[in-house]
């Protein structure tokens, strides 16, 4: 395990190799902003105290107890990602559209029982849903007057205090690959020994301005297949349970190019990195909805942590654009230069397997109906981020596996705090037509304000639809805005490196269509 990039949504921080590197991964796979059908997305993602929608299968399975006829529905969606970046005094913008299938479900409503019996009706649902969306893109550029990414390579090599012979052994001439990023930088003369034995190491072109350009693109998501069952007791109490099987796929590509302005040895160099994570997990939900009267109902649901097993493959490479690399002097005192056999080196793929336990979630909510004219609904959702856990059995030594668990547990507890999310939404009904609006407040889960940013998120949504006895069609749009930051590398002195300050605006558009049978 030698991955040295942390990714938390829009936040990436370079760090030295350690066991405690995966808290940000646990958070990424656990943060849910909005999901469900277009109807529920138009309401701000309120699931807890409403029924009669396929989203209830994972939102609050008790809501399936409201069904009195079977249903099939599908919800294609498109995510529009837009990010402004400010880096070293330069502003850039990036945007892209990512199509997805947000929801698909089949609900089987049981036949009504004798009204004299307490257990009136049951329903069974099988659904697919996109729970977490990883799609993201941003670019940044600016002139750095203090440092280069090569300074991070030099700093890491000096921290290791490794001699040049051992550093040379980290490279294979047969495959042209290095075992570490420092070994790759050493072979390309971005890191150079100042003594015959090696340390301390240095880099060329110190003191010249560096034009830095970077880009980050992520794709994928966490989807869930859910099977849920619910029943109706005397049309007043609705109880349900569900079992969810998750599938995670996350890919990112990260590029940083340094161009030296007036460089004497290098024009510049580029580092490329990419990560692929795949895996699956399991969770369960239990919920209830109670109707004290026809116009008011309250709901509650508890969702267990998702227990996931994941596998990742991490790749990095460096390519250089040299001018003339010094190699000493000849017998007549004239300078000589390195005759390069190659200008790029790959780092050997780094595979790792680990497990993540996501937070426990518990929600409560209420809905008030204005007869047949519409309703208002609200939800409070507790998310126990400090309870996330990361483990592994990848290492051959049990002590290493234990150290990995303990280091990441400490990192989670030092970084994240439990939060309570709030959502409010409403629907107005005019004959066959529906108009909806919602808002969500998602507090900052970080204990420490990294980069002095408040990462509180505000989500606004709206939508409309039509519904009759045979079919329905709903359209919804949600808009999420938040601040984040990206730090391509770190150095001992915070004054010597920069972070890209990001303003993220994510828009999700969804169409849900369904038929009753």
* β-pairing verdict for 326-329 and 335-337: antiparallel
The pLDDT value given to residue 373: 96
Of 11, 15, 4, the residue nearest 347 (C-alpha): 4
What does the alpha-carbon distance between residue 169 and residue 58 come to, in Å, rounded to a whole number?
52
Of 81, 61, 73, the residue nearest 10 (C-alpha): 81
Indicate if the pLDDT at residue 301 is higher than 70. Answer: yes
* pLDDT tens-digit series, residues 164-206: 999 999 999 999 999 999 999 999 999 999 998 999 999 999 9
* pLDDT tens-digit series, residues 428-480: 999 999 999 999 999 999 998 777 788 899 999 999 999 999 999 999 999 99
* pLDDT tens-digit series, residues 281-290: 999 999 999 9
Of 68, 86, 196, the residue nearest 484 (C-alpha): 86
Q: What are the two backbone dihedrals, phi and then psi, of residue 23, each rounded to the nearest 5 degrees?
A: -65, -40
The pLDDT value given to residue 3: 52
Residue 448 tokens read as 């420490």
Of 189, 194, 177, 56, the residue nearest 126 (C-alpha): 56
Model confidence, pTM: 0.89
Max CA separation in the chain (angstroms): 109
Please classify residue 448 by burial: count the beta carbons closer than 10 Å to its beta carbon, then call 0-12 exposed, 13-18 middle and 19+ buried.
Answer: exposed
What is the band of 14 on the pLDDT scale with cuts at 50, 70, 90? very low
What's the chain's Rg over C-alpha atoms?
A: 27
What is the number of other CB atoms lying within 10 angstroms of the CB of residue 233? Answer: 16
Q: Which of 15-19, 50-54, 170-174 has the lowest mean pLDDT?
A: 15-19
Average pLDDT in the chain: 93
Residue 219 tokens read as 């794709």
* pLDDT tens-digit series, residues 309-334: 999 999 999 999 999 999 988 888 88
The pLDDT value given to residue 5: 37
Q: What domains appear along the chain, each with residue ranges and CATH number?
A: 5-61+131-148+205-468+485-497 (2.40.160)
The pLDDT value given to residue 113: 64
Name 99's Cβ contacts closer than 8 Å, sequence gap at least 6: 76, 77, 78, 79
What is the band of 12 on the pLDDT scale with cuts at 50, 70, 90? very low
What does the alpha-carbon distance between residue 128 and residue 429 come to, in Å, rounded to a whole number?
28
């Amino acid at each position: 395990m030698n991955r040295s990039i942390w990714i938390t949504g829009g936040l990436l921080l370079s760090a030295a190799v350690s066991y405690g590197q995966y808290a940000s991964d646990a958070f990424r796979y656990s943060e849910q902003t909005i999901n469900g059908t277009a109807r529920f997305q138009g309401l701000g993602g309120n699931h807890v105290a409403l029924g009669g929608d396929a989203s209830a299968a994972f939102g609050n399975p008790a809501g399936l107890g409201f069904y009195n006829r079977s249903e099939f529905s599908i919800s294609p969606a498109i995510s529009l990602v837009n990010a402004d970046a400010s880096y070293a005094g330069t502003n850039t913008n990036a945007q892209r559209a990512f199509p997805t299938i947000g929801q698909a479900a089949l609900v089987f409503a049981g036949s009504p029982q004798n009204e004299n019996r307490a257990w009136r009706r049951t329903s069974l649902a099988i659904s697919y849903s996109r729970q977490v969306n990883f799609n993201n893109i941003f670019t940044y550029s600016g002139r750095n007057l203090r440092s280069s990414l090569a300074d991070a390579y030099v700093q890491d090599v000096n921290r290791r205090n490794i001699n040049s012979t051992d550093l040379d052994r980290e490279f294979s001439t047969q495959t042209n690959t290095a075992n570490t990023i420092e070994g790759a930088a050493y072979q390309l003369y971005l890191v150079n020994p100042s003594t015959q034995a090696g340390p301390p190491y240095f880099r060329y072109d110190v003191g010249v301005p560096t034009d830095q350009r970077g880009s980050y693109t992520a794709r994928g998501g966490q989807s869930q297949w859910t099977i849920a069952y619910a029943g109706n007791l005397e049309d007043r109490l609705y109880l349900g349970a569900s079992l969810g099987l998750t599938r995670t796929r996350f890919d990112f590509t990260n590029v940083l190019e340094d161009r030296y302005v007036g460089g004497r040895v290098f024009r510049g160099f580029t580092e490329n990195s990419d990560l692929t994570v795949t895996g699956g997990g399991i969770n369960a939900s239990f919920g209830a909805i109670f109707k004290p009267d026809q116009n008011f109902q309250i709901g509650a649901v508890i969702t267990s942590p998702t227990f996931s097993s994941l596998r990742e493959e991490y790749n990095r490479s460096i390519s250089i654009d040299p001018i003339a690399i010094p190699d000493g002097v000849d017998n007549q005192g004239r300078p000589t230069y390195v005759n390069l056999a190659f200008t790029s080196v790959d780092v050997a793929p780094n595979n790792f397997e680990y497990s993540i336990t996501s937070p426990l979630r518990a929600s409560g909510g209420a809905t008030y109906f204005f007869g047949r004219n519409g309703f208002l609904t609200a939800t409070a959702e507790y998310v126990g981020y400090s309870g996330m856990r990361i483990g592994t059995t990848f290492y051959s030594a049990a002590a290493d596996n234990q150290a990995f668990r303990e280091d990441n547990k400490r990192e989670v507890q030092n970084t994240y705090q439990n939060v309570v999310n709030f959502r409010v939404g409403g629907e107005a009904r005019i004959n066959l037509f529906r108009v909806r609006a919602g808002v969500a407040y998602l507090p900052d889960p970080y204990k420490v304000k990294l980069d002095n940013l408040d990462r509180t998120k505000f989500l606004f949504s709206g939508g409309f639809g039509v519904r009759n006895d045979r079919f329905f069609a709903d359209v919804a749009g949600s808009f999420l805005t938040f601040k984040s930051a990206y730090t391509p590398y770190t150095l001992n002195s915070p004054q010597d490196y920069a972070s890209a300050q990001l303003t993220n605006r994510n828009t999700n558009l969804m169409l849900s269509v369904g038929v009753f049978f």
